[in-house]
């Protein structure tokens, strides 16, 4: 086929995954985008394995605490053990972060994990309980391409979300409206598409929804308000599940979700006509996410020039994408959590309940400089002398604590110490003439025409041998502003 076909397929891999993997490069100019999408669907059709990183100490402790004796047992735990529990929980969430990032880099199920990454921002949740976070992650990964209805119900009953949005305090005669408000504003309808009365009445329906220490959903029936409620003009003795179904019955929910997906996967500037068409089909399919994504990724308009190379890579996409193209062994994986913090996106630590705003907010003068230094940092042994912004919202009020006590230990800098396996990458350029190398490398790495001249790349590349030239030119092109776009 053609270079144009290769760019389209790379576009699909960046949007429906975390960028092309080195082993795919030879095929991207040969297959059609529809064939590639079918392969992505097939690879993402299996049920994901549960990611379990919880420490044996925590598992043993939790196994000994049943719900009945929870309060008494927790009182018996010594102060030093409480500190140990907190430390183990932080370490667990950090390990979950690195494990999931590793999945992004290595899995064939790119479509499922990219969708789960989107839902991770949509159902934004900060919680230092590793069991709760593992449970929520499993829900969004299992349902990532399935039914939005099923996922909404499961997320709403997850211990992570119920705790994060204070529904544990939502009781009969003392309703807490936080959970009901966010379900409408952030998860289904979008701001301005409900009334304060809808929130008040819905909050009553969610009374008694709670969770146990091990993450299991608990309905506390004596705390539930069984009275009549009116939500969106419907009246009845509604419980939480029935309210969620009322929200799903609103076409506005389909439109809100579809627009958000369009902006994330297609273009920050939403095309209202296309969004409305997609939303109508999404609603008719009873919220089948897989069908919605197929509508997007197999359409001709998805591959229009205005949609290619128009999005700024999120920090996670940038970090994972480099590792997919240049397979590497990392001696110091902890450096990846520091990089996430320095670049402004930490998995499992969204800035607030609305998640990461994305788009141009990813870039400011300091983060752009670090982004462009990143390929060189990976390739050498310079210590990362980077000062991160202390966002106290992200640090969850722990700013004043010592570096090592911050959640997940984000204060650690150090050297990345990566050993790049160049072998498979180099094979793609065996038959390329020397004067065509920069153009060939650029076509694999960039989704937009480079504003940097070939002569400048040559000037800063090592011309000692063909191999050293390819390696150095690759790192130089990854260090350009154009590489920040996908």
Instruction: Report, as an integer, the average pLDDT of 40-53.
Output: 98
DSSP element (H, E) containing 218: strand 217-219
- pLDDT grade, residue 388 (50/70/90)? low
- pLDDT grade, residue 390 (50/70/90)? low
Higher pLDDT, 477 or 406: 477
Residue closest to 166 by CA, chosen among 176, 155, 153: 176
The answer to whether residues 466 and 434 touch, using CB atoms and an 8 Å cutoff, is: yes
pTM, full prediction? 0.94
Rounded Cα distance, 3 and 351, in Å: 39
Higher pLDDT, 239 or 416: 239
Per DSSP, the three-state class of 191 is: coil
Angle at 318 between CA 481 and CA 426, to 5 degrees: 85
Q: What is the pLDDT of residue 399?
A: 43
DSSP element (H, E) containing 229: strand 229-231
Low-confidence winner among 26-30, 93-97, 382-386 (lowest mean pLDDT): 382-386
Q: What is the pLDDT of residue 397?
A: 39
Residue 453 φ then ψ, to 5°: -70, 150
Q: Which single residue is written with the structure tokens 């409900």?
A: 194
- pLDDT grade, residue 68 (50/70/90)? very low
Rounded Cα distance, 474 and 78, in Å: 55
Rounded Cα distance, 94 and 291, in Å: 34
- pLDDT grade, residue 366 (50/70/90)? confident
Q: What's the token pair of residue 312?
A: 């700024």
Per DSSP, the three-state class of 453 is: coil
Instruction: Report, as an integer, the average pLDDT of 209-222.
Output: 94
Q: What is the pLDDT of residue 69?
A: 54
First-last CA distance in the chain:
22
Instruction: Kindly tell me if the per-residue pLDDT of 166 is higher than 60.
Output: yes
- pLDDT grade, residue 404 (50/70/90)? very low
Instruction: Kindly tell me if the per-residue pLDDT of 408 is higher than 80.
Output: no
Q: Are strands 229-231 and 234-236 parallel, antiparallel or unpaired?
A: antiparallel
What ranges make up the beta strands (E) of 237-334? 328-330
Strand partners, 210: 218
Higher pLDDT, 59 or 15: 15
Q: Are strands 217-219 and 418-420 parallel, antiparallel or unpaired?
A: unpaired
Instruction: Kindly tell me if the per-residue pLDDT of 407 is higher than 70.
Output: no
Residue closest to 154 by CA, chosen among 128, 119, 178: 119
Q: What is the pLDDT of residue 2?
A: 72
Q: What is the pLDDT of residue 412?
A: 55
The answer to whether residues 308 and 322 touch, using CB atoms and an 8 Å cutoff, is: no
DSSP 8-state symbol, 187: I
Q: What is the pLDDT of residue 255?
A: 98
Q: Which single residue is written with the structure tokens 């992505």?
A: 40
- Give 227-243 pLDDT, tens digit per residue: 999 999 999 999 999 99
User: What is the 3-state secondary structure of 420-451?
Assistant: ECCHHHHHCCCCCCHHHHHHHHHHHHCCCCCC
């Amino acid at each position: 086929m053609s270079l144009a076909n290769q760019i389209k397929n790379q576009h699909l891999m960046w949007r429906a995954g975390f960028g092309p993997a080195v082993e795919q490069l030879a095929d991207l100019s040969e297959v059609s985008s529809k064939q590639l999408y079918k392969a992505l669907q097939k690879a993402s059709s299996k049920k994901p394995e549960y990611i379990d990183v919880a420490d044996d100490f925590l598992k043993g402790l939790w196994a000994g605490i049943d719900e009945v004796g929870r309060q008494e047992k927790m009182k018996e735990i010594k102060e030093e053990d409480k500190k140990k529990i907190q430390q183990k929980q932080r370490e667990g969430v950090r390990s979950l972060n690195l494990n999931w990032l590793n999945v992004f880099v290595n899995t064939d199920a790119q479509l499922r994990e990219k969708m789960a990454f989107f839902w991770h921002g949509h159902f934004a949740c900060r919680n230092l309980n590793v069991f709760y976070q593992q449970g929520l992650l499993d829900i969004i990964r299992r349902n990532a391409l399935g039914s939005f209805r099923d996922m909404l119900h499961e997320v709403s009953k997850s211990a992570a979300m119920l705790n994060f949005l204070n529904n544990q305090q939502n009781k009969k005669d003392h309703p807490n409206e936080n959970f009901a408000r966010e379900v409408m504003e952030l998860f289904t309808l979008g701001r301005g598409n409900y009334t304060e009365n809808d929130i008040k009445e819905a909050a009553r329906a969610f009374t008694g929804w709670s969770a146990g220490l091990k993450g299991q959903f608990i309905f506390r029936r004596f705390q539930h308000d069984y009275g009549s409620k009116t939500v969106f003009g419907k009246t009845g003795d509604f419980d939480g599940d029935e309210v969620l179904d009322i929200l799903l019955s609103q076409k506005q929910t389909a439109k809100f979700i579809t627009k958000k997906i369009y902006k994330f996967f297609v273009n920050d500037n939403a095309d209202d006509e296309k969004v409305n068409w997609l939303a109508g089909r999404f609603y008719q399919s009873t919220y089948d996410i897989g069908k919605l994504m197929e509508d997007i990724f197999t359409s001709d308009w998805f591959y229009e020039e205005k949609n290619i190379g128009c999005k700024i890579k999120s920090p996670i996409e940038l970090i994972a994408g480099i590792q997919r193209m240049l397979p590497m062994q990392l001696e110091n994986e902890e450096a990846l959590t520091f990089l996430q913090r320095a670049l402004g996106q930490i998995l499992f630590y969204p800035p607030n309940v609305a998640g990461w705003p994305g788009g141009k907010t990813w870039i400011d003068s300091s983060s752009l400089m670090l982004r462009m230094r990143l390929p060189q940092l990976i390739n050498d042994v310079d210590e990362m002398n980077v000062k991160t912004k202390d966002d106290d919202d992200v640090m969850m009020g722990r700013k004043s604590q010592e570096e090592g006590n911050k959640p997940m230990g984000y204060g650690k800098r150090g050297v990345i110490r990566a050993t790049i396996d160049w072998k498979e990458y180099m094979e793609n350029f065996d038959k390329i003439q020397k004067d065509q190398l920069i153009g060939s490398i650029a076509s694999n790495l960039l989704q937009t025409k480079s504003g940097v001249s070939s002569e400048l790349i040559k000037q800063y590349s090592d011309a000692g041998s063909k191999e050293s030239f390819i390696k150095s030119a690759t790192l130089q092109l990854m260090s350009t502003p154009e590489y920040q776009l996908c």
